[in-house]
Structures are given as structure tokens and as C-alpha cells.
Amino acid sequence: MNITVRVWRQPHADAEGQMVSYEVPDVSEHMSFLEMLDVLNERLTMEGDDPIAFDHDCREGICGSCGVVINGVAHGPQQTTTCQLHMRSFADGAVIDIEPWRAEAFPVIKDLIVDRSAFDRIIQAGGFISAPTGTAPDAHAAPIPKNQADHAFDAATCIGCGACVAACPNGSAMLFTAAKITHLGMLPQGQPERDSRALGMVGQQDEEGFGGCTNIGECTAVCPKGIPLETISRLNRDLLGAMLHGSR
Amino acid sequence: MALKALMAVSGLIMIGYLLAHMYGNLKVFAGQASFDGYAEHLRTLGEPILPHAGLLWIIRVVLLAAVLGHAYSAFSLWSRAHKARGGSKRYQTSKSKLGVQRSYASFTLRWGGVVILLFVIFHLLHFTWNTIHPGGAADSPYVRVVNGFSVWWVVLAYTLAMVAVGFHLRHGMWSALTTLGANTSAIARHRLNLLAYAVAGVVTIGFLLPPYSILLGLVT
Ligand code: HEM
Ligand code: SF4
Ligand code: FES
């Protein structure tokens, strides 16, 4: 198939960016979206142009680094990561618009790469448990009901890609933060720091310049891991509880 | 952090008030004596524990606080969201402007809220402070209502405002309950959305019944 891509090109963080068109002939429909960009980049390099900078690592949908906005939708037309998206999802002759995540808290570093370290700081503000290390605890020391374990595990699958922020009309990071709060809050090990976790993580989220959630649901519709909207209500309950307890 | 909770609680207080207010309005169908009696009853409610019109004043103070709290949190969250998403021009592409799954009501929440605010001012000038009287002035609240709604543009203004309220409540009620932690499962989500549709529908239709009945000459 032959396609045209329009890509956001921005040489560095402080430069003005713009959309640039490239024809990409002879694309196999079995290529992944990133392989299509690899092919284009090889050609740009041969021609002495600057290749398009995009983030990627595992290319198997588990590291969360590859997100871009494709035709206005985070990660494109399939609800998966960009690396797991295939060219068969597009028609022959298609014109595909590719842009970086857009949010105040995710500044563009170059082309399609944004700085997502705001997410790391949210995790540092409470997305952990404090446990004394030493010998491994007995496997059955802390029994966990099956459905609680399932909820915790589902929430734990968040890969921190940031698609939720890129899709949110308010630029809110609630789905990401809520996934971690649900993951830890569902488990016995997460209980002692439940209040301080909610206050710390949501406080950091506000400080990073993410917007407030109005429960529109665009985040869950693009989340490659299908983190459900209920996690946000769980976060809200933990947050309201913590504010009522007046604890920190 | 607390702004969202303020927004939700003040919104729910106003929804409670709207339901009661709508029920009161439907008394026009019971005739002038009943409607004017109801307006008087509102003022004597709670006596002798409370002074004349005491409860009414309590409701007014609570409502005013709710409106101010709601508008304050709405505008600060609005400006924060605007900045957070990276301004008005976010993505260059002209595709997927309507989002992936979002409702129409979620688009109209903010400007719809402003429309409602303007309407509330018009409405207070009209029926509460009695400073403007389209259709003719009168002492009886019933006659004022009938006079007002005999004028086509008054009914049109009320229609636009109530449709805006309907959209606002469709998304607002669901959002408020979620913000307060009620969305606990896929089933709960389904129920909350149905509830929001129901309340939005009841409020919109309930408020529009009296004006249209009067305009069409069913109530005189
Ligand atoms: C009849 C009166 C009103 C009722 C019953 C009502 C109800 C609600 C509710 C329940 C919410 C959802 C809160 C949440 O997201 O947690 C909401 C949101 C909102 N309302 Fe109202 N509202 C009313 C009037 C207004 C007015 C006069 C404005 C004008 C400024 C307004 C602006 C907004 C905005 C902007 C939001 C979204 C705020 C956000 O970003 O979270 N509303 N409303
Ligand atoms: S919640 Fe989903 S969309 Fe958001 S960062 Fe995690 S995996 Fe990505
Ligand atoms: S490259 Fe790791 S998720 Fe796509």
C-alpha cells in the first residue's frame, strides 16, 4: 500500500514546530506502525535529512514509551499501543496525521517525543508501599480475596504511556494516578499509606499542571490496557476519605 | 483538590432545589388559589420555630452559597483545564474532533453553565424581584406567571434555558456522583448514567410543562 504521513516536526524543545508531509510507498499491511516509521526514517537518513524522532523500546506493548496521536486519537484507531498497531488498520492511499501527546505537563522534547517525567514524580509522591526488606515473606502470610486480587492486577497493568492525558479534554492524569491508587489500595500491603498516597499523588498531579477530571471517559476509550473508569471513583473515595480524616 | 468536591456538592444541592422548584411550579395546573397559596405556604413553613419567611431565607442563603461555590470552582477548573490541555489549539489534525466516545452533553457543560447563569439572572429579575414584567405586572404570583408565559419570546427563552439545564444535568449529575465516589463498577456506571438521564429529562420536561400549557391557552 502507498500512504502519506503528515508528521509534527520540531527540532528541539524551544523551536517552533510544524506538520510536514512525506509519501511512504510500498508499505506492507503487516508492518507495525513503528516499522513504517523506521522505513521512512531509513530513507530520510539516506537522503541526509533528520530522521523523525519517536520514543519506543519494547515494541511488544508493555513499556509504554511509544505513544503518539494518530489522526487525532491517542495510539490511533485500535485500542492498543502504537507499536502493536498494524498498517492493515489503514486504507491504501490514506493520509495519516501523526502528532506528539499534547499537555502542559508533557512538553515536547523533539518531534514526537515528549517529556513524561511528571508521571515519575506523581509515583514518587505516593505510588509505592514501604516494606522492610529481608527474607521473602511466607507466600500465604497475607491472604487476598480473589476478586480483590483481580481488581488490583487489572489496575497494575497500567504501563504509564500517557494516552489518557493526551486524550483527556481537560489534560487530566486521573486515570493514570487512579490506576496506581487502585492497584495498591486493593491490597493489604497498601493500607498503611492509603491516605497519604491519595493526598500526595493527587497533590503532585495538580502541581505538575494536569487538569481536573470531569468524568468524560475519553481516557478509558484509548487506554491500551483498558483501565476502567471505576478506578477514578476509587481514587475519589480514597481522596475524600483522606481529606475527612485530615491526615497526611 | 477540594474544588471538584465543592463543584459536585454544590451542583447536587442545586439539583435538589430544582426538583422541589419544579414540583412547586406544577401547582399552576391546580389553579390560582392553589398556586398563590403555595407561594404563601413557602413563607409560613417552619413557623413558629422560624420567623415569617425564615425557611425561605435559609434556602436562599444555602442556594446563593451553592451558586457562588459552583461558579467559582467551575471557572477555576475551566481555566486550569484550558492550560493543562495546552491551550485552544491542541492537535493540528482536523480528524476526530468529536472524540472517541464522549457525549454531546459533555461538550456543552461549560458554555451551557454560562447560559444557565444568565438565565437565572433573567428569571430572578422576572419572578423574584418583579423588576421586569413581560406580559403585564400583577400582585398575584399566579397572574404574573400566566402573563409572562403568554409572551412567545419568554417561552422561547425558558425553552432554551431548560434544554441547556437538561444537557448540563445529563453530564453534571453523573460526573458529580462519580466525583463523590459512587461509580464502583460497570453496573454502577450504567445505573448512574440512567439516573442522570432520568433526572435531566424530568427536570427539563417538568419545567417546560407550565409555560407551554399557558402559551397554548390550556391554563389561563
Ligand atoms: C441550575 C443550576 C446548576 C446545577 C444544578 C448544576 C449542576 C452541576 C453538576 C452536578 C456538575 C458536576 C460536578 C462535577 O463535575 O463533579 C456541574 C458541573 C459544572 N457546572 Fe453546573 N450546575 C448549575 C449551574 C451552573 C452555572 C450557573 C454554571 C456557570 C458558571 C455552571 C457551570 C458548570 C461547569 C463549568 C461545570 C464543569 C466543571 C468542571 O470542570 O468540573 N453550572 N454542574
Ligand atoms: S491508564 Fe492507560 S492510558 Fe493512562 S498511562 Fe496507564 S496504560 Fe496509559
Ligand atoms: S514500544 Fe513499548 S509499549 Fe510500544
d(CA B65, CA B111): 21
* Domain co-membership, A237 together with A148: yes
Q: Is residue A136 domain-resident?
A: no
For residue A71, CA distances in Å to A123, A193, A212, A224, B136 come to 30, 41, 25, 17, 56
Q: Which of A69, A202, A236 sits opposite B181 (nearest CB)?
A: A236
Residue (of B65, B172, B47, B61) closest to B116 by Cα position: B172
Domain count, chain A: 2
CA A23 to chain centre: 29
Q: What is the pLDDT of residue B134?
A: 85
Residue of A236, A238, A239, A243 to mutate, interface with B, max B Cβ within 10 Å: A236
Class of residue A51 by CB neighbours under 10 A (exposed 0-12, middle 13-18, buried 19+): middle
Domain around A206? 116-129+143-246
Residue (of B159, B169, B175) closest to B197 by Cα position: B169
Q: What is the pLDDT of residue A248?
A: 53
Which portions of chain B are predicted below pLDDT 70? none
Q: 3-state class of A153 per DSSP?
A: helix
Q: Is residue A221 domain-resident?
A: yes
Provide, rounded to the nearest whole percent, the portion of chain B with pLDDT above 70.
100
Q: Which residues line ligand 3 (CB under 6 A)?
A: A 56-59, 61-66, 81-83
Residue B98 near chain A (CB below 8 Å): no
Residue of B12, B72, B92, B185 to mutate, interface with A, max A Cβ within 10 Å: B92
Q: 3-state class of A17 per DSSP?
A: coil
Q: Is residue A105 domain-resident?
A: yes
Q: What is the pLDDT of residue A240?
A: 94
* Domain co-membership, A234 together with A121: yes
Classify domain B2-215 at the CATH class level: mainly alpha
CATH of the domain at A100: 3.10.20.30
* Domain co-membership, A104 together with A183: no
* Domain co-membership, A23 together with A100: yes
What's the Rg (C-alpha) of chain B?
20
Question: Which residues have C-beta within 8 Å of that of residue A191, sequence separation ≥ 6?
Answer: A185
Q: What is the pLDDT of residue B54?
A: 84
Residue (of B202, B203, B183) closest to B193 by Cα position: B183
Q: Is residue A138 domain-resident?
A: no
Encode chain B in three state secondary structure: CCHHHHHHHHHHHHHHHHHHHHHHHHHHHHCHHHHHHHHHHHHHCCCCCCCCCHHHHHHHHHHHHHHHHHHHHHHHHHHHHHHHCCCCCCCCCCCCCCCCCCCHHHHHHHHHHHHHHHHHHHHHHHHHCCCCCCCCCCCCHHHHHHHHCCCHHHHHHHHHHHHHHHHHHHHHHHHHHHHCCCCCCHHHHHHHHHHHHHHHHHHHHHHHHHHHHHHCCCCC
* Domain co-membership, A50 together with A11: yes
Neighbours of B66 (CB within 10 A): 20
* Domain co-membership, A20 together with A85: yes
Q: Which of B5, B85, B181 sits opposite A211 (nearest CB)?
A: B85
Residue A78 near chain B (CB below 8 Å): no
Residue (of B47, B173, B83) closest to A211 by Cα position: B83
DSSP H or E stretch at residue A18:
strand A18-24
pLDDT in tens, chain A (248 residues): 999 999 999 999 999 999 999 999 999 999 999 999 999 999 999 999 999 999 999 999 999 999 999 999 999 999 999 999 999 999 999 999 999 999 999 999 999 999 999 999 999 999 999 987 788 878 788 889 999 999 999 999 999 999 999 999 999 999 999 999 999 999 999 999 999 999 999 999 999 999 999 999 999 999 999 999 999 999 999 999 999 887 55
Q: What is the pLDDT of residue A188?
A: 92
Q: What is the pLDDT of residue A58?
A: 97
* Domain co-membership, A15 together with A64: yes
* Domain co-membership, A79 together with A123: no
Class of residue A77 by CB neighbours under 10 A (exposed 0-12, middle 13-18, buried 19+): middle
Inter-chain contact A97–B92, Cβ cutoff 8 Å? yes
Q: Is residue A19 domain-resident?
A: yes
Class of residue A183 by CB neighbours under 10 A (exposed 0-12, middle 13-18, buried 19+): buried
Question: Which residues have C-beta within 8 Å of that of residue B89, sequence separation ≥ 6?
Answer: none
* Domain extents in chain B: 2-215
- What's the whole-model pTM score? 0.90
